[in-house]
Amino acid sequence: MDSKNFSNPLSLRDIRITDDFWKKEMELVRTEVIPYQWNALNDNVPGAAPSFCMKNYRLAGELNARRRQDPSWQQPVWTTGIFNLVPEDINNREERFYGFLFQDTDFTKWVEAVAYSLTQHPDPELEKLADDAIDVVCAAQLENGYLDTFYIINDQSKIFSNLRDNHELYCFGHLTEGAVAYYEATGKDKLLKAACRYADYIDSFFGPEEGKCKGYPGHEIAEMALVRLYHATGNDRYLALSRFFIDERGKQPYYFDTEVDHPFEAKGENPPLRHFYHQAHLPVREQKEATGHAVRAVYLYSGMADIARLTQDESLLGACETLWNNITTQKMYITGGIGSTHLGEAFTFNYDLPNDTAYAETCASIGLVFFARRMLQIKADARYANVMERALFNGVLSGMALDGKSFFYVNPLEVLPKACHEDERKFHVKPIRQKWFGCACCPPNIARLLSSVASYAFTENEDTLFVHLYVGSELTKKVGDNTVTISITSEFPYAGKASVRISAPEPTGMTLALRLPDWAEDYSIKGAEGASSAETRDGYLYLTSTWSGETVISLDFPMRPRIIAANPAVREDAGKVAVACGPMIYCLEEADNGADLHLLSLNCAEPDFRVCPDAILGAPAIKAAGSRRKPQEVSDTSLYHEYRAPETEACTLTFLPYYMWNNRGEGEMTVWVREG
């Protein structure tokens, strides 16, 4: 690993997003998602599952106040579980914790999205709302720094007794990420101080020192959150704690087996499967295959990549590379979705990528974006950025409706609405986006990612600006004592044109590293003739120069519809193809192609593609030549019959970008279509 290749995201305060596509998404988050989610956190969305998040914080604060007034007051102990179902009449309830036991994260993700949004669009009213909510959250914190309402309200004697299932370190991680983001956006440190106090408490409890607990998170995220806290505060104890969690994971005897508070199993009866599920079956450096719960996995790998870079740990980087390769070459949907089974929201075996029962949780694709950016920070290699772009434009964006008001938790690649019976609908497998979820991890996660997309598009080091994604922006970069302004325009994702204007008032030596997307067979560039060196490496074009005055570089990555086939080992895609154009994966919907999409084939020899701009909901449609297998003769009602060559009729297929599906009501959808 060469530290000269390292880079960091720029401060969002130094970037203004101007991009037609992403600005629209960010504005949706600002104007729709953030206010909508605030209502959801306060149980004010009619018809949506109540979150109870802010009620839990308030109750925890009230209990703290009662305890302070009367130290002899004994808090009642409630019996609790993972779900803590909310009663139908939410006003007629006991004073206790309700909702999923990680409900605190509904707020901490929301406040992170608010923070990023404020960097782009100052909004004193929203900031006041967040400040007031932060007061409520901080009032819930215990004197010793502990801050998790589930145990504060319930039974403090059980704190950290079930790390495997009970998400305390997950809640801590999200609190920390929200706190750092809010501090960086506003300069206000109340929540940051609360996160530090909690981190200090955790640091006093866990660690390699004798007498300290040797546990680690059951749901990872604390690892990468502690790294952010380390960056924000300069306190290297946070870095050491993150590293401890990573190093400890998977050691034998398994820490989770020593915990006594696993309510669902008798002690000692943990099937080994559970350790795979938590990525704790082996020390992380020995793990070769992505296993278990997909979100947990990619959050862990993101933390590992952070620690590998910051401690220049080659063996940890090796593990990250192995796991990255396993995911992206054997376990990833064409949409950047990961985690193919709803059983444990998990990875399965290599090439097992069913389309209709795909889980592909929105949070898992988001986690893949986190992992990709962290690998890019170690070394700009377009393999990472290509996947990051694929996940962002497809498996992540599909998680939110075009109006920002409803969400997918699960992102299948083939849907037959009548196949989703009631039981499945209850389990997040739904053919339509939902207003909210009892387990609402995905909606606020998508909000925080979309409002910080610039942190993924660009990274920098001392003298290089890396453009991983062409996102129209104005940004400033410091090189020595000089400041260079860089303006990027982009027609992505529907056209491959982009430009980079460099304004250097003083002659400034700097390198621009421009990603060459994998979907472009070729590209043309103008305006770079003055660069003193131009070199292509790992899918990036490095232009080095002493820039002076204004230079405009124009890039054109020709985009054309492409027919994509899967590795033959993917059973579900055998004999099928998908259509892509630029970074977008396309799909067929019933609204444009009629029902029974499984009877359609794409004429792969002569697809006669036509891109029709603005054809569907403001996005291009791709028309192609295809055929429809004729239904059986009416007289033949048998389920099986002697084979005869099927009769087909020619038809035109209409594809739309996958992320836009299900914005025109319920209907069939498929990404993979028969090869004709």
148 forms part of the interface with ligand FUB (CB under 6 A) = no
219 forms part of the interface with ligand FUB (CB under 6 A) = yes
Minimum distance from residue 190 beta carbon to Zn ion (Å): 28
User: Which of 19, 106, 345, 573 contacts ligand FUB by CB under 6 A?
Assistant: 345
**C-beta of 41 vs 621, nearer to Zn ion:** 41
Q: For residues 293-307, b (16+ Cβ closer than 10 Å) or e, as one string?
A: bbbbbbbbbbbbbbb
DSSP string, 421-438: -HHHHHTT--SS-BS--S
* Residue list 98-127, contact with ligand FUB (CB under 6 A): 102
**C-beta of 102 vs 658, nearer to ligand FUB:** 102
Query: How far is 260 from 267, CA to CA, in rounded Å?
Result: 7
**C-beta of 170 vs 672, nearer to ligand FUB:** 170
446 forms part of the interface with ligand FUB (CB under 6 A) = no
442 forms part of the interface with Zn ion (CB under 5 A) = yes
**C-beta of 85 vs 569, nearer to ligand FUB:** 85
Q: Among the candidate windows 185-193, 316-324, 434-442, 489-497, which touches Zn ion by CB under 5 A?
A: 434-442
Look up residue 489 and give its two tokens. Answer: 């325009």
**C-beta of 415 vs 442, nearer to Zn ion:** 442
Minimum distance from residue 557 beta carbon to ligand FUB (Å): 35
Query: Are the CB atoms for 254 and 273 separated by under 8 Å?
Result: no
361 forms part of the interface with ligand FUB (CB under 6 A) = yes
H or E element in which residue 293 lies: none
Look up residue 501 and give its two tokens. Answer: 């204007």
Minimum distance from residue 277 beta carbon to ligand FUB (Å): 11
Minimum distance from residue 367 beta carbon to Zn ion (Å): 9
Q: Among the candidate windows 6-14, 197-205, 305-313, 362-370, which touches Zn ion by CB under 5 A?
A: 362-370
Q: Is 231 helix (H, G, I), strand (E, B) or coil?
A: helix
Nearest residue to ligand FUB, using CB? 295
Query: Are the CB atoms for 295 and 361 separated by under 8 Å?
Result: yes
Query: How far is 134 from 479, CA to CA, in rounded Å?
Result: 36
**C-beta of 449 vs 673, nearer to Zn ion:** 449
Site string for ligand FUB, 533-562 (x = CB under 6 A): ------------------------------
- Which of ligand FUB, Zn ion, none has residue 484 at its interface (CB below 5 to 8 Å by kind)? none
**C-beta of 170 vs 456, nearer to ligand FUB:** 170
Query: Are the CB atoms for 474 and 457 separated by under 8 Å?
Result: no
CB atoms within 10 A of CB 137: 26
- Which of ligand FUB, Zn ion, none has residue 184 at its interface (CB below 5 to 8 Å by kind)? none
Nearest residue to Zn ion, using CB? 363
- Which of Zn ion, ligand FUB, none has residue 219 at its interface (CB below 5 to 8 Å by kind)? ligand FUB
Q: Is 384 helix (H, G, I), strand (E, B) or coil?
A: helix
CB atoms within 10 A of CB 121: 15
168 forms part of the interface with ligand FUB (CB under 6 A) = no
Query: How far is 623 from 14, CA to CA, in rounded Å?
Result: 41
**C-beta of 295 vs 486, nearer to ligand FUB:** 295
Q: Among the candidate windows 207-215, 339-347, 359-367, 651-659, which touches Zn ion by CB under 5 A?
A: 359-367
- Which of ligand FUB, Zn ion, none has residue 240 at its interface (CB below 5 to 8 Å by kind)? none
Q: Where do the DSSP E strands lie in 482-602?
A: 482-490, 497-515, 524-526, 533-537, 540-556, 561-564, 576-581, 584-589, 600-602
CB atoms within 10 A of CB 640: 5
Which residue blocks in 500-635 are alpha helix, DSSP H?
Answer: 590-593
294 forms part of the interface with Zn ion (CB under 5 A) = no
Minimum distance from residue 109 beta carbon to Zn ion (Å): 10
Query: Are the CB atoms for 176 and 222 separated by under 8 Å?
Result: yes
566 forms part of the interface with ligand FUB (CB under 6 A) = no
**DSSP tag of 32:** I
Minimum distance from residue 639 beta carbon to ligand FUB (Å): 38
Query: How far is 404 from 418, CA to CA, in rounded Å?
Result: 25
Query: Are the CB atoms for 96 and 79 separated by under 8 Å?
Result: no
441 forms part of the interface with Zn ion (CB under 5 A) = yes
Site string for ligand FUB, 570-589 (x = CB under 6 A): --------------------
Q: Which of 159, 168, 161 is nearest to 101 (CA)?
A: 168
Query: How far is 230 from 221, CA to CA, in rounded Å?
Result: 14
- Which of Zn ion, ligand FUB, none has residue 345 at its interface (CB below 5 to 8 Å by kind)? ligand FUB
Look up residue 359 and give its two tokens. Answer: 């889980």
The contacts of residue 439 (CB under 8 Å, 6+ apart) are 100, 409, 428
Q: Where do the DSSP E strands lie in 297-416?
A: 414-415
**For the CA atoms of 294, 295, 300, 301, what is the dihedral angle to 10 degrees?**
60
**C-beta of 282 vs 440, nearer to ligand FUB:** 440
Q: Is the dihedral of CA 151, 155, 161, 165 positive or negative?
A: negative
Minimum distance from residue 359 beta carbon to ligand FUB (Å): 9
Look up residue 221 and give its two tokens. Answer: 């995220």
363 forms part of the interface with Zn ion (CB under 5 A) = yes
Q: Among the candidate windows 154-162, 267-275, 361-369, 537-545, which touches Zn ion by CB under 5 A?
A: 361-369
- Which of Zn ion, ligand FUB, none has residue 446 at its interface (CB below 5 to 8 Å by kind)? none
220 forms part of the interface with ligand FUB (CB under 6 A) = no
Look up residue 473 and give its two tokens. Answer: 């922006």
Minimum distance from residue 442 beta carbon to Zn ion (Å): 3
**C-beta of 17 vs 295, nearer to Zn ion:** 295
Query: Are the CB atoms for 671 and 334 separated by under 8 Å?
Result: yes
Active site residues: 345, 441
Count of CA atoms in the C-beta half-sphere (13 A) of 505: 7
Q: What are residue 8's phi and psi, to 5 degrees?
A: -130, 155
Which residue blocks in 391-523 are alpha helix, DSSP H?
Answer: 422-426, 442-450, 454-457
**DSSP tag of 254:** P
223 forms part of the interface with ligand FUB (CB under 6 A) = no
Q: Is 414 helix (H, G, I), strand (E, B) or coil?
A: strand
Minimum distance from residue 299 beta carbon to ligand FUB (Å): 8
Query: How far is 86 from 583, CA to CA, in rounded Å?
Result: 42
363 forms part of the interface with ligand FUB (CB under 6 A) = yes
Minimum distance from residue 446 beta carbon to ligand FUB (Å): 13
User: Which of 139, 439, 520, 604 contacts ligand FUB by CB under 6 A?
Assistant: 439
Kindly state the number of chain residues that form the binding site for ligand FUB, as judged by CB under 6 A: 8
346 forms part of the interface with ligand FUB (CB under 6 A) = no
502 forms part of the interface with Zn ion (CB under 5 A) = no
- Which of Zn ion, ligand FUB, none has residue 130 at its interface (CB below 5 to 8 Å by kind)? none
295 forms part of the interface with ligand FUB (CB under 6 A) = yes
Where do contacts with ligand FUB occur on this chain (CB under 6 A)?
102, 219, 295, 345, 361, 363, 439, 441
Where do contacts with Zn ion occur on this chain (CB under 5 A)?
361, 363, 441-442
